[in-house]
Amino acid sequence: MNTLIGNAVVGQSGGPTAAINATLAGVIRGVLENLHGGSIRTLFGMRNGIEGLLEERLIDLGGLFASEDKLKLLELTPAAALGSCRRKLPDIKKDPAFYERLLGIFKKYDIRYFFYIGGNDSMDTVARLSEYTKSHEYEMRIIGIPKTIDNDLVGTDHTPGFGSAAKYIATTVQEIIRDCAVYATKAVTIVEIMGRDAGWLTASAALGRAVNGVGPDLIYLPESPFSMEKFFEDLRRIHKEHPDVVVAVSEGIRYEDGRYVCEGMSARGVDVFGHTALSGTGKVLEFAVKDELGCKVRSIELNLPQRCAEHLASAADIEEAVRIGKEAVAAAAGGVTRRMMTIERISTNPYKYKIGHADVTEIANKVKKVNPEFINAEGNNVTDECVEYLLPLIAGEVRPLFDRGIPVHIII
């Protein structure tokens, strides 16, 4: 291993999570605690990811976060404190000028370490940059650090940010179930949860059943084909047992033929309503059930709070997010490059894990679906095995700093 001395830059990219700032804090801690053995001089933060880097909008993070209080605040501030972007990098052969420009910036600031915290698309950025710099004489260490509430990255047991989103979803669904239980009249409540291609977040809606003995009566994931007729049957069956049916559904569920339910057509080919842009999956189901069963139906879209409800973050998730950031610094200084940091589960009960890394080119642009054994045979709920697997990821509560009843955020 050769020592590489220079500056480092860290960026955040893609959708916000409740843990992405914890990972940023981890990288800063890794540098401040000298886990790099003297290799990193200054740690820059790029504003708005790679876009800000291109515009040389860089800030000195070591200076800004010299105090422990500020780092603690950063860890429990939701969303990306540095700002984010959703920019796909061009093909290297088609637009070499783009990469030359980036290389020029790296050289200008003597940047030898590049840390990029993000999801699937961001790992594509890391892979392309790795490929480009590999074939140039300017030595760099390029590391992706995963974050996504969707938990759909391959090569890692789970992703930082997922546990906090899962805890928010599990808790909120428990509260909704209690709310729906108060009336004695027949009703259906449909909770729409994020996840276009993978059902991890929606599966988390079940977690409360391990504690309070109740969960959504029905859970539909994108991994199982959806049938409106079967759904109506399920509802009628459960209505015979109790009046308050609660359903958790992924925004990305599809019919057998591959059409998204949210495309706005009922299973019987009837256009449920006019404006297709309005048709969230929950709304489509709400109107279909209203038509079919005639009872009170409500749909609830959990929406942005799923990814930014920091006040209910998972302590386990935040701890892992910080740790993976710190270990990325140590790994890079130790010679690791062109890799994404990963979480490897050692055991579920008791929960044990370690941090590792994997080839980033094997990760970008792939989707990790929910394991088949985590979905029941009917495709309308998750198994107890799934609940056991997910529970350690939502363990523990964080204690954000509150002032006059409001969580304090750091704004940089």
Active site residues: 150
Residues in 213-232 at the binding interface with a copy of itself, rule: CB under 8 A: 213-214
Provide the residue type at 47 as one letter: R
Residues in 270-289 at the binding interface with a copy of itself, rule: CB under 8 A: 272-275, 277-278, 283, 287
Q: Which tokens go with 166?
A: 């899962």
Q: What is the DSSP letter of 220?
A: E
Segment contacting a copy of itself by CB under 8 A, of 90-98, 108-116, 202-210, 335-343: 202-210
Spatial separation of the C-alpha atoms in residues 345 and 108, rounded to whole Å = 40
Spatial separation of the C-alpha atoms in residues 104 and 45, rounded to whole Å = 17
CB within 8 Å of 271: residues ≥ 6 apart:
264, 265
Segment contacting a copy of itself by CB under 8 A, of 101-109, 268-276, 331-339, 359-367: 268-276
Segment contacting a copy of itself by CB under 8 A, of 127-135, 171-179, 324-332, 342-350: 171-179
- Tell me: does residue 1 bind a copy of itself (CB under 8 A): no
Query: Is the four-CA dihedral 328, 329, 331, 335 of positive or negative sign?
Result: positive
How are beta strands 40-46 and 6-12 bridged, if at all? Answer: parallel
Residues in 15-54 at the binding interface with a copy of itself, rule: CB under 8 A: 16, 48, 51
Residues in 128-157 at the binding interface with a copy of itself, rule: CB under 8 A: none
- 124, 157, 223, 310: which one contacts a copy of itself (CB under 8 A)? 310
Strand partners, 341: 357
- 35, 79, 218, 364: which one contacts a copy of itself (CB under 8 A)? 79
205, 375 in Cβ contact below 8 A? no
Q: How far is CA 81 from the centre of its chain?
A: 16
> Cβ 234 to a copy of itself, closest distance in Å?
22
> Cβ 38 to a copy of itself, closest distance in Å?
33
Counting every residue written for the chain, the total comes to 412
82, 325 in Cβ contact below 8 A? no
Binding site for a copy of itself (CB under 8 A): 12, 16, 48, 51, 77-80, 83-86, 167, 170-172, 174-176, 178-179, 181-184, 189, 207-208, 210-214, 272-275, 277-278, 283, 287, 298, 300-301, 303-305, 307-312, 314, 316, 391, 394-397, 402-409, 411
